[in-house]
Amino acid sequence: MSGDTDRNGEPDVTATGRPDGGLTDVGRVTNRESATAGPTVLDRVRTELAELTVLDLAVYALYVTAIAFFVFPVLWVASASLRPAGELFSYPFRLVPGEVSLSAYRQVFRAGMVSWLFNSTLVTIFGVSSILAVSVPAAYAFSRFEFTGRRGLLGVVLLFQMISPVIIIVPLYTVMSSLGLLRTRAGLILLYVGIQTPFSIWLLKGYFDTIPRELDYAARIDGCNRLQTLRHVLLRPVAPGIAVVAIFNTVLTWSEFVLAFTVLGSESRLHTISIGIYKFQGQYGNDWRAIAAASVIGMLPLVVVFLGLQRYFVKGLVEGSLKGQ
Amino acid sequence: MSTADTAAERLLERASDVIRRLLDHPLLWLAPALLALAVFQLYPMAEAILMSLTNESLIRPSFEFVGLEQYVRLASDPQFWEMIRITAIYAFFSVVLHVLLGLVLALAIDYGVRRGLRGHLTTRVSVLLAWIVPGIIIGLVWKVMLVESQFGAVNHFLGVLGIGPVPFRSDPTLALISTIIAGTWRGTAFTMIMIYGGLQRVPQRLYEAARVDGAGRWDRFRHVTLPQLKPVLFITTVLVTIYALNTFDLIFALTGGGPGRATQVLALFMYQEAFQDYALGRGAAIAVVMLVANLLLTGVYLYAFDVGDEI
């Protein structure tokens, strides 16, 4: 939300810097601040309506279409999951079911949903903390040390970030069993550390680079070693970056399927949410209500986390991908 | 007492000195990350390459090195080329839709922010919402959306219009279109955010200059926005292409590669060869093909950064 407030915080630039359509509709009141200062709500609505251009209307239409396209499937699935057994969608269409039934959810919970949620939570918490524990020091080193091969090593890290983990699933079974990690949560967590560290290092290094080195020098003079400097001086300014990396890895770890399926797929008591739901839908073939209910439970935790923290996602997406050397 | 104390103190001092010196070397800081990368990325990749040179199988206990035979057989297998074709179609249309939709949405949101229109935040959040839904669940969500009965939303509404039911997942062409739409539904958030970020970096004075020169809205878009966005568009396109080429979970859940093999992209083909037909060596050869494709595109991506720096 505040991603937008940031922008709205500079209304003068918005109004005068780029008055879109300034040439086409001359004389239009462009300064929104003066409009909002109007006396009554009705007046304000009236001025706003009067100010609408054709392009505004087109953009509004696009907003509505986009919201419908992106949100509707989720709503439809949620709605489907709440219908009583056997009830089809009635004509005329109603998104809110006339009669709500939780029987589909009961079915999913009986199939082991609690255990899937537990496993996913465990893997996500330990996975994300391990990823941070490994990538924060590495990012610090890439930002604060000058050593031969630094650029080359950074290039290797970037390369690993670009290569899809899907590629390693064929040898993964052999690799994990030779390491004694097959069918263990620890194995999956360590695998996630290996897979997601490059992106995390890359993003965190960017944050470290923005902190002036004078802070390090000052801490050094005060007698701090590097670890103390990191802990007591740098950790606070780099905290937003750590938050972004944590959120990102939470989403990726919670959602990940193919690696988890390969490592844990044959051990049903270790199934994570993605594996559990995939197997569940294999069993319940055409029971769409049950599949819908399973989907809702699987995405709900992420949706809640996301709605609270979405502006950090935006940061992470842009900064993780658009960083030159 | 004092001698013991000073000995302990000296030991402590020595220890802290050693620690300090260790901490002053980057190796200690990098070691855990490098170890994780080596064990869980490099080792499996090397293993994949080695495996691709064997006839290893899940159902035979022994195997031998066969050199490049797997690759030769792959290249002469019409099925492989069919997978390449399907992957190319999937990737091409996905990428075009991702970039177009992302561009339009980014422009609309940027416009809304500047004009103070309502709903730009809701739009952005809605698009991003689709992106965080786990891939397997996206497959299932769209499966439910496209069910070939009244339970599927799309057929429900087509039914209201007197059309259908349309076999979205059992007709080969429609199934492929369905996977492309589901993939676009998920990935547009990424292109939208990247392009929106790019729009924020276009210097405002360029627009002012263009306006002084009498350029209309379209001209400003065509001659200011688009050229300024070029590096971002390029990088975004490359990244989306990489993601599209490696798509797995979504298609795995939505169509499982079917009907027949109509939606079997490379990653699914690899999976099937390795784990359903038990031909690990052959699966590994496909993995290597994918690896090479990834590396090539990464090369293009790095090149894009150079291009970006020049501009």
Q: For the segment B163-198, what is each residue's pLDDT rounded down to a tens digit?
A: 878 888 889 999 999 999 999 999 999 899 889 988
| B242 CB-near residues (< 8 Å, 6+ apart) | A162, A164, B294, B297, B298, B301
Q: Above 50 in pLDDT, residue A13?
A: no
CA nearest B207: which of B232, B231, B225?
A: B225
**CB A240, CB A316: distance < 8 Å:** no
Cα A81 to its chain centre, rounded Å, is: 24
The rounded distance, in Å, linking the Cα atoms of B120 and B105 is 9
> Residue B226 is encoded by which pair of tokens?
């688009």
What per-residue confidence (pLDDT) applies to B162? Answer: 81
The helix (H) or strand (E) run that includes residue A41 is helix A41-51
CA nearest B130: which of A264, A67, A213?
A: A67
Q: Above 50 in pLDDT, residue A20?
A: no
**CB B150, CB B159: distance < 8 Å:** yes
**Are B287 and A171 inside 8 Å of each other by CB?**
yes
The rounded distance, in Å, linking the Cα atoms of B306 and A159 is 16
Which domain range does residue A272 map to?
Answer: 107-321
Confidence of residue A25 (pLDDT cuts 50, 70, 90): very low
**Are A175 and B108 inside 8 Å of each other by CB?**
no
The reply to whether A173 and A128 lie within a common domain is yes
Domain termination site, one of A83, A105, A127: A105
The reply to whether A177 and A306 lie within a common domain is yes
**CB B265, CB B180: distance < 8 Å:** no
Local structure of residue A88 (DSSP, 8 states): P
Confidence of residue B106 (pLDDT cuts 50, 70, 90): very high
The reply to whether A42 and A140 lie within a common domain is no
Q: Above 60 in pLDDT, residue A219?
A: yes
**Are B147 and A88 inside 8 Å of each other by CB?**
no
Q: Above 60 in pLDDT, residue A37?
A: no
Dihedral (Cα; A27, A29, A30, A36), 10-degree rounding: 180
CA nearest A81: which of A284, A287, A271?
A: A287
Nearest CB to A141 within list B30, B37, B286: B30
The reply to whether A71 and A214 lie within a common domain is no
The reply to whether A117 and A84 lie within a common domain is no
Percent with pLDDT over 70 in chain B? 96
A324 burial via Cβ count (<10 Å: 0-12, 13-18, 19+): exposed
The average confidence (pLDDT) of chain B is 89
What per-residue confidence (pLDDT) applies to A45? Answer: 77
Percent with pLDDT over 90 in chain B? 52
Q: Which amino acid is located at A241 in the chain? A: G
In B, minimum Cα distance to A201 occurs at: B33
Confidence of residue A32 (pLDDT cuts 50, 70, 90): very low
What per-residue confidence (pLDDT) applies to A309? Answer: 81
CA nearest B110: which of B196, B189, B208?
A: B196
The reply to whether A143 and A97 lie within a common domain is no
Domain CATH code at residue A206 = 1.10.3720.10
Confidence of residue B38 (pLDDT cuts 50, 70, 90): very high
What per-residue confidence (pLDDT) applies to A186? Answer: 95
Q: Above 90 in pLDDT, residue A135?
A: yes
What per-residue confidence (pLDDT) applies to A324? Answer: 42
In A, minimum Cα distance to B133 occurs at: A299
| A53 CB-near residues (< 8 Å, 6+ apart) | A21, A24, A25, A28
Q: Above 70 in pLDDT, residue A39?
A: no
pLDDT, mean of residues A193-208? 92
Q: Above 50 in pLDDT, residue A31?
A: no
The rounded distance, in Å, linking the Cα atoms of B258 and B252 is 9
**Are B144 and A277 inside 8 Å of each other by CB?**
no
**CB A22, CB A30: distance < 8 Å:** yes
Q: Which residues of B243-262 are buried (b: 16+ CB within 10 A; e: fewer)?
A: bbbbbbbbbbbbbebbeebb
In A, minimum Cα distance to B187 occurs at: A70
> Residue A66 is encoded by which pair of tokens?
């986009």
The reply to whether A20 and A125 lie within a common domain is no
B-proximal residues of A, 223-262, CB under 8 Å: 225-227, 251, 254-258
CA nearest B230: which of B125, B282, B308?
A: B308
Dihedral (Cα; B111, B114, B116, B120), 10-degree rounding: 50
What per-residue confidence (pLDDT) applies to A317? Answer: 67
Confidence of residue B149 (pLDDT cuts 50, 70, 90): confident
Q: Above 90 in pLDDT, residue A64?
A: yes
What per-residue confidence (pLDDT) applies to A14? Answer: 35
**Are A322 and B197 inside 8 Å of each other by CB?**
yes
Nearest CB to A277 within list B136, B193, B302: B136
Bridge partner residues of B65 (DSSP): B54
Complete domains list, chain B, with CATH: 2-51 (no CATH), 72-310 (1.10.3720.10)
Nearest CB to A298 within list B134, B156, B214: B134
Answer whether B20 touches A (CB < 8 Å).
yes
Confidence of residue B308 (pLDDT cuts 50, 70, 90): low
Answer whether B150 touches A (CB < 8 Å).
yes
The reply to whether A190 and A232 lie within a common domain is yes
The reply to whether A9 and A120 lie within a common domain is no
Helices B172-200 and A288-321: crossing angle, nearest 10°?
A: 40
What per-residue confidence (pLDDT) applies to A323? Answer: 54
pLDDT in tens, B201-226: 889 899 999 989 888 889 999 999 99
Local structure of residue B148 (DSSP, 8 states): S
Local structure of residue A163 (DSSP, 8 states): S
The reply to whether A161 and A266 lie within a common domain is yes
> Residue A262 is encoded by which pair of tokens?
């390969």
The rounded distance, in Å, linking the Cα atoms of A301 and A116 is 13
Residue A325 CB neighbours (<10 A) = 10
Domain termination site, one of A85, A105, A125: A105
Q: What angle do CA B291, B267, A313 make, to 5 degrees?
A: 80
The rounded distance, in Å, linking the Cα atoms of A47 and B184 is 38
Answer whether A60 touches B (CB < 8 Å).
yes
Residue B227, preceding peptide bond in cis (omega within 30° of 0) = no
Of the segments A4-13, A275-284, B37-46, which one has the largest average pLDDT value?
B37-46
Nearest CB to A167 within list B120, B280, B291: B291
pLDDT in tens, A270-324: 999 999 999 998 888 778 888 889 999 999 988 888 888 877 777 766 666 655 4
What per-residue confidence (pLDDT) applies to A190? Answer: 96
Answer whether B142 touches A (CB < 8 Å).
yes
Give the torsion sign (CA, A94, A96, A98, A99): positive
**CB B143, CB B169: distance < 8 Å:** yes
Confidence of residue A30 (pLDDT cuts 50, 70, 90): very low
pLDDT in tens, A225-283: 888 999 988 988 888 889 889 988 998 999 999 999 999 988 889 999 999 999 998 88
Q: Where are the alpha helices (DSSP H) in B24-132?
A: 26-37, 43-51, 69-75, 78-115, 120-132
> Residue B222 is encoded by which pair of tokens?
């065509």
> Residue B206 is encoded by which pair of tokens?
């360029």
> Residue B83 is encoded by which pair of tokens?
């997978």
Q: Which amino acid is located at A179 in the chain? A: L
pLDDT, mean of residues B100-127? 92
Q: Which residues of A205-219 are buried (b: 16+ CB within 10 A; e: fewer)?
A: bbbbeebeeeebeeb
The reply to whether A59 and A165 lie within a common domain is no
Q: Number of structural domains, chain A? A: 2
A143 burial via Cβ count (<10 Å: 0-12, 13-18, 19+): buried
Residue A111 CB neighbours (<10 A) = 18
Residues of A in Cβ contact (< 8 Å) with B105: 62, 66
Domain termination site, one of A74, A105, A136: A105
What per-residue confidence (pLDDT) applies to A8? Answer: 38
Dihedral (Cα; A240, A242, A247, A253), 10-degree rounding: 170
The reply to whether A150 and A279 lie within a common domain is yes
